């Protein structure tokens, strides 16, 4: 499996992503295969980013588990 990137936010024609090293990268929307949203996990292949739905779902569950009980 390749490096995992995360969509931080979407601005106009760019997707702002965070690299595994913590770098912030602006990528033109045309280099994303599919319609991504904030928090989606991406895999880079041949200069394009593809949404990894399985990794995104797993990440969402992990975050939800960390937040359980935090506001009690």
What is the model's pTM? Answer: 0.85
pLDDT the model gives residue 55:
96
pLDDT the model gives residue 72:
60
SS3 of 7, please? strand
13-57 pLDDT per residue, tens: 999 999 999 999 999 999 998 889 999 999 998 889 999 999 999
Closest C-alpha among 72, 15, 14 to residue 42? 15
pLDDT the model gives residue 2:
72
pLDDT the model gives residue 1:
56
CA-based R_g, the chain, Å: 13
Q: Domain extents for the chain?
A: 4-67
């Amino acid at each position: 499996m390749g490096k995992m990137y995360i969509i931080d936010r979407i601005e106009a024609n760019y997707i702002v992503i965070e690299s595994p090293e913590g770098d912030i990268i602006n990528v033109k929307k045309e280099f994303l295969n599919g319609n991504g949203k904030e928090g989606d996990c991406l895999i880079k292949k041949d200069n394009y980013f593809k949404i990894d739905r399985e990794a995104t779902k797993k990440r969402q569950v992990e975050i939800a588990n960390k937040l359980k009980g935090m506001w009690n």
